[in-house]
């Protein structure tokens, strides 16, 4: 199997969202991205001589719109397309109204520009993952934490792990990962277990959704685990000291500053204007407050 990253150039920004084209006996995509960037996806596929009608299946790491939002439109172009998704995520693909409403609450007026309209996937096209070890030549790994129904996909023959958001946001080669922790479904202990798992599978490279292929998945899992624990500790302190707002603003700026040592600052700012680290901080606070309420 050949694995080709496709930069969908989301919102005109390179290196923000990557889909993965799998070429072999059964061509497939992993995380096609949102409806708003389907043009970039199809352009990238065409560069490899592939049309939507040539695809056998789409693998979804999870149903967030930046990963899965354009899937229903692909099914319109290919009525036989199989959509592989965790069984807990499948209902949201068949009826995305609640998912879209939740996303709209987070992104407000920017929602339509960033994501575009989402179409339902017919139930007959859905392949709900219920624990199968392999699908389409890929080993399926349950990787909860960012969201409960998150999956990762491992090509054991070439050592490539397609990790979605489970290995974090990596916007430049050599840059550390940033843990995306938006509300409402974060589960820190589950993510810690996921990172222990990903550190142990022996992958040679990782394809992250945000963005591109990176070496040393084991090292990245260890680094992100430390980062996740540190920002969780920091959020707990802010809650206890009543400094949530100030620390959140400081954290969001620090994230931008850190990534900007590896990539042009204007591009970093554009990315985090869409995928706000302040929202990630708010997700951690929401998670900790919910746990405190039992």
**Domain limits of the chain?**
2-292
Angstrom CA distances, 105 to 68, 69, 279, stand at: 18, 16, 12
The number of C-alpha atoms within 13 Å of 239 and in the hemisphere containing its C-beta is 18
CB 208 within 8 Å of CB 168: yes
CATH code at 2-292: 3.60.15.10
In the chain, where do the E strands start and end? 2-7, 18-23, 28-30, 57-59, 82-86, 126-129, 134-135, 138-142, 151-155, 160-164, 205-208, 212-215
pTM of the model: 0.96
User: How confident is the model at residue 294, as a pLDDT?
Assistant: 79
pLDDT tens string 14-41: 999 999 999 999 999 999 999 999 999 9
Phi first, then psi, for residue 129 (nearest 5°) are: -70, 125
53 contacts 77 by C-beta, under 8 angstroms: yes
End-to-end alpha carbon distance in the chain: 46
Tokens of 198: 């990903």
Instruction: Tell me: pLDDT of 106 over 90.
Output: no
Q: What percent of the chain has pLDDT over 90?
A: 94
Per-residue pLDDT, 276 = 92
pLDDT band at 107 (very low <50, low <70, confident <90, very high): confident
Q: Is the predicted pLDDT of residue 289 greater than 90, yes or no?
A: yes
**Angstrom distances, CA of residue 215 to CA of 139, 190, 207, 219, 263:** 19, 24, 9, 9, 18
């Amino acid at each position: 199997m050949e694995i080709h990253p496709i930069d969908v150039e989301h919102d005109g920004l390179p290196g923000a969202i990557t889909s993965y084209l799998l070429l072999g006996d059964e061509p497939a995509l992993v995380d096609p991205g949102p409806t708003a960037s389907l043009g970039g996806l199809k352009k990238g596929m065409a560069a490899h001589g592939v049309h939507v009608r040539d695809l056998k299946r789409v693998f979804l790491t999870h149903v967030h719109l930046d990963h899965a939002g354009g899937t229903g439109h692909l099914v319109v172009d290919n009525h036989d397309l199989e959509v592989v998704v965790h069984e807990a995520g499948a209902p949201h693909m068949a009826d995305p109204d609640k998912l879209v409403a939740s996303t709209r609450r987070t992104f407000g007026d920017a929602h339509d520009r960033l994501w575009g309209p989402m179409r339902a996937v017919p139930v007959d096209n859905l392949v709900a993952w219920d624990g199968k070890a392999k699908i389409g030549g890929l080993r399926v790994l349950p990787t909860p934490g960012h969201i409960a129904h998150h999956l990762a996909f491992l090509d054991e023959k070439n050592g490539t792990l397609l990790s979605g958001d489970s290995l974090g946001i990596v916007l430049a080669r050599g840059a550390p990962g940033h843990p995306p922790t938006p509300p409402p479904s974060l589960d820190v202990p589950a993510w810690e277990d996921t990172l222990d798992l990903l550190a142990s599978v022996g992958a040679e490279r990782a394809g992250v959704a945000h963005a591109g292929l990176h070496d040393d998945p084991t090292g990245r899992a260890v680094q992100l685990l430390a980062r996740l624990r540190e920002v969780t500790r920091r959020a707990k302190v802010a809650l206890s000291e009543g400094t949530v707002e100030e620390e959140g603003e400081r954290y969001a700026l620090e994230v931008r500053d850190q990534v900007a040592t590896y990539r042009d600052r204007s591009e970093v700012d554009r990315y985090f204007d869409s995928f706000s680290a302040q929202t990630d901080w708010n997700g951690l606070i929401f998670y900790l407050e919910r746990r405190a309420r039992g």
